[in-house]
Amino acid sequence: MRFLFLGDMVGRSGRNAVFSALPGLVSDYRLDFVVVNGENSAGGFGITEDIFRQTLTAGADVVTTGNHVWDQREALEFSTREERFLRPLNYPRGAPGNGSGLFEAKNGARVLVANIMGRLFVTPDLDDPFAAADQLVSACPLGEQADAVIIDFHAEATSEKQSMGHFLDGRASVVVGTHTHVPTADHQILSGGTAYQSDAGMCGDYDSSLGMEKEEPLNRFLTKVPRGRFEAAQGPATIAGLAVEISDRTGLAEKVAAVRVGPRLENSLPNFW
């Protein structure tokens, strides 16, 4: 199975880059399944139903989120009826929407996708992500109820992300980190066969501070006095993510590569498709 994950879309620039590039990637590489993190797509804060639907139209099969999931209040409503929209799985019982789902890929594979949020240096402080992950993969095991298992682990601390990767090694096809918006160089296949990357990076303008216009973040570091709101940067965007070849036989990763298309970052596309 050919799988593509794209990191956090940030603002209009980031989402337009995804909407422009993703249809071609799906077609050219005959992708079977695509997950896009959309939690920063509405001006850098949250996601609207219209943006969610445009992301599906562009080629995403599932849209994940994170700590900004409810920044646009309409998400509280449309999350309850859109099964392909995921909020973090480890929200307390009773939260609207779903944190995971079992979906069918273009090749017919059953793909379990979950969005889980870390606890270190990030708010809100949700339920134990490791317990949530363990319960998930125990209830729908790879190779039994699921042909592939994809985990978007939305977390700040690299140590927590790496620990989650090792915790699920051999039980998930892919564990990919989001939230910090900077692509890491550690994409790899862990010893148990799980594809891992600490952070996929963002789909956004990299002439910025994590996708935001850099003047106000810099001002706050220098003066500690806010002068205005954070605004999503509007320059040309680069899309960043992770490509994985998943075995149809075992559901584990066989090949993994970084994906980067756009200005500023060194462009990278998988050579195994």
Which residues are catalytically annotated? 68
Contact 86, 98 (CB under 8 A): yes
The CA–CA distances, whole Å, from 66 to 22, 147, 202 equal 21, 25, 13
Place of tokens 């756009």: 262
Strands 239-246 and 2-6: antiparallel
The CA–CA distances, whole Å, from 217 to 26, 38, 114, 183 equal 35, 22, 31, 20
CA dist 62 and 85 (Å) reads: 6
